[in-house]
Amino acid sequence: MKNDLFEKYSIPKAVFTLAIPTMLSMLVTIIYNMADTFFVGQTGDANQVAAVSLAMPIFLLLMAFGNIFGIGGGAFISRLLGERNLEEIKKTSAFSFYGCIALGLLSMVAFLLFMDPILAMAGASINTMGFAQGYLTIIAYGAIFICLQTSLAQIVRSIGAVNEAMIGMMIGTVINIVLDPIMILGMGLGVEGAAWATVIGNVFAVLYFIHYIVKKSDVLSISRHYLRFEGIIAKNIFAIGIPASVNNILMSISMMFMNKYASAYGDNVIAAFGVSSRVFTVVVMLALGLAMGIQPFIGYNYAQGNFTRMNSAIKFSSIVGIIMGVIIMAVSLAFPTQIVSFFINDPEVVEVGAYILTVQMLVAPILGIQFIITTVYQSLGKAIPSLILSVCRQGLAFIPLLIIGSTFFQLQGIIWTQPLADVFSVILAVGMYTVTYRKLKKTMTEPVAVALGKGII
């Protein structure tokens, strides 16, 4: 159960032990997302690159469904670990596993039935619709495995098995990257080859996680023996999992809105957004990896009542996130054209994409703060603050800014929407946690049971 890591390691050692494997997992995920764009870009067809961008919100939606059980179940499991409640951990992991399968199956049916209106709403044109349909059909058939891969990685990570979580994600990624050039270029499948590579990679990752849980973990279980439809388990999973997944769902919806508004300026602009957004995911995924890495540490120490140790980890992680963001921003601002042209050679796409990337990267240093604070509230089991922060970045702030920006500033307004939404969200997150921390300090002198009973915000 790795209690020493949670209770005795120094804060930097504990944070890096948990976060580095998670960040590496996210880095590999970024690489395979970029690999799809890179190899599709080698076809020289901007419409196929645009089609991948149009279908990406659907892929994010499946990851969001997986996060309902992954983040929700993982946060609850971390707290149960701090309480030494192994029986409930097994029930929670089994519930998460089978719940994720059911949701993946429903998603597959929904996407296949309503594919055309979904893609039309996302901004598909006559030039990109056929490519997007081919890509999405294959992704839909792999929906269960995409959901499960996301969920099981979080569940395994929640007990401190960060290396195992990283290995599972790397297996899927390496297989995806190996298959991309074979299927996209060698077999001439184009965007459909990218979709097949993604699904097959996820299948192998899921098989690894199942093998780990069944054969090597004495804490987790996916046995039907432990499958219980108990209210307390469902409540704890959904109370955190749904707000957490809202961020991914809204990210999917916001990308569809963005593509829809950008489609007025041509398919090349959509392709430019697709390439620049893939590069920007380096910041997003690394920041998420850092935040998700410390989630078991936060949940465990909160359950133990060790608020000082918990808060020290939050501060240290925020500093790491800022430094990481500054480095990535500096590299991106120095070489935006070279970075975008690595993925596609179309001069118009490169020009627009380089500018979009420059604007997006301006918020890289502060982005990690919001993800860390959101994860803190998830780890503490605080659904309302978690929901507010999850909804803000891609909903409450993003959509109004997109509508206003596109109306008054046309394409410039669309490009600046996400950075402005990020600034607003970070300010809100810092303000909320400042209030939480003040309340937290008051509980430090009280008995643990009283402090936990009062709650934090």
DSSP code per residue over 214-273: HHT-SS----GGG----HHHHHHHHHHHHHHHHHHHHHHHHHHHHHHHHGGG-HHHHHHH
CA atoms within 13 A on the CB side of 354: 18
How far lies 199's CA from each of 148, 151, 203, 435, in Å?
A: 12, 15, 6, 43
How far lies 197's CA from each of 35, 182, 342, in Å?
A: 10, 9, 21
CA atoms within 13 A on the CB side of 12: 2
Tokens of 3: 């209690």
Distance CA 45, CA 189 (A): 13
Low-confidence ranges of the chain (pLDDT < 70): 1-3, 29, 32-33, 247, 440-441, 443-457
Q: Is 163 exposed, middle or buried (0-12, 13-18, 19+ CB in 10 A)?
A: middle
Using DSSP's 3-state secondary structure scheme, residue 342 falls into coil
Tokens of 80: 């149960």
Distance CA 308, CA 306 (A): 6
- Give me the amino acid identity at 401: L
Question: What region does 123 belong to: left with phi over 0, alpha with psi -120 to 50, or beta?
Answer: left
Contact of 51 with 131, CB cutoff 8 Å:
yes
pLDDT in tens, 53-73: 777 777 778 888 888 898 888
Domain of 117? 3-454
Tokens of 378: 């998830």
How far lies 418's CA from each of 59, 166, 393, 428, in Å?
A: 20, 29, 8, 15
Distance CA 131, CA 208 (A): 31
Q: Which residues, including other chains, have CB under 8 Å from residue 186's CB and lie 6 or more apart?
A: none
Q: Which residues, including other chains, have CB under 8 Å from residue 195's CB and lie 6 or more apart?
A: 55, 134, 135, 136, 137, 138, 139, 142
Number of structural domains in the chain: 1
pLDDT in tens, 224-249: 888 877 778 888 888 878 877 776 77
Q: Is 101 exposed, middle or buried (0-12, 13-18, 19+ CB in 10 A)?
A: middle
Phi, then psi, of 80 in degrees rounded to 5: -65, -35
Tokens of 433: 């946690």
CA angle 33, 38, 42 (to 5 degrees): 150
CA angle 424, 428, 429 (to 5 degrees): 115
Distance CA 177, CA 38 (A): 10
Distance CA 44, CA 346 (A): 8
Helix axes 398-443, 383-391, angle to 10 degrees: 150
The pLDDT value recorded for residue 262 is 83
How far lies 237's CA from each of 119, 180, 250, 323, 363, in Å?
A: 31, 35, 19, 33, 32
Distance CA 149, CA 168 (A): 8
The pLDDT value recorded for residue 448 is 44
Distance CA 9, CA 162 (A): 16
Q: How far apart are the first and last CA of the chain?
A: 29
- Give me the amino acid identity at 245: S
Q: What's 90's DSSP letter? A: H
Contact of 289 with 29, CB cutoff 8 Å:
no
Residue with tokens 């196929």: 48
DSSP code per residue over 197-209: HHHHHHHHHHHHH
